[in-house]
Amino acid sequence: MNVNTHKRMVWTVAALCIFIAAVLTSAQEAVAAGIVINEVELNPPGFDTDTEWIELLNTGDTTVDLAGWSVSYSYRVRGRMVISETSLPLSPGARYVFVYPGLRLRNAEGMPIELLDAQGTVIDETASMTDPFDNTYTWQRWPDGGDPAWPGFWLFGEATPNAPNE
């Protein structure tokens, strides 16, 4: 093996290690916080403004205050919206449905939704999703709250806001 090939291999392995470390760190932060995006309503029946929502679930062992936390959105532009400016404690096992006020989400372009803590750290992110059906079906983490072995597994089914995904 010549020197250039060896250097290229070393840089490739180093880049792969950095990528894996970043993915694991992100997953560990989400697990540490215990808060996940558990369900997403992208396209409810009728007019979408003020009726699209996400369900957050505290899968952790401690209460987490969502004050200053935000979620991303995309319609005409991508942005972030603060969930609550004031204290909003979410105890272990509790759910919170956040309705996007005054907004519609993109139904057809498959944009992921990010959940960020008060410091702006991405705590969770959905898979890219679309929903052209204009009905009561939502994207739901399965099993309810997700499985660390299958963190990106989502099903499309009848909405279950503030209740376990079935």
Q: What is the mean pLDDT of residues 21-45?
A: 69
- Name the more confident of 79 and 14: 79
Q: Are residues 63 and 14 in the same domain?
A: no
Q: Are residues 41 and 9 in the same domain?
A: no
Q: List pLDDT tens digits, range 58-104.
A: 999 999 999 999 999 987 788 999 999 999 999 999 999 999 999 88
Q: What is the mean pLDDT of residues 101-117?
A: 89
Pairing between β-strand 78-82 and β-strand 53-58 as defined by DSSP bridges:
unpaired
Q: Are residues 25 and 40 in the same domain?
A: no
Q: Are residues 71 and 136 in the same domain?
A: yes
State how many domains the chain has.
Answer: 2
Could you tell me the pLDDT band of residue 14, with boundaries at 50, 70 and 90?
A: very low
Mean pLDDT estimate for the chain: 84
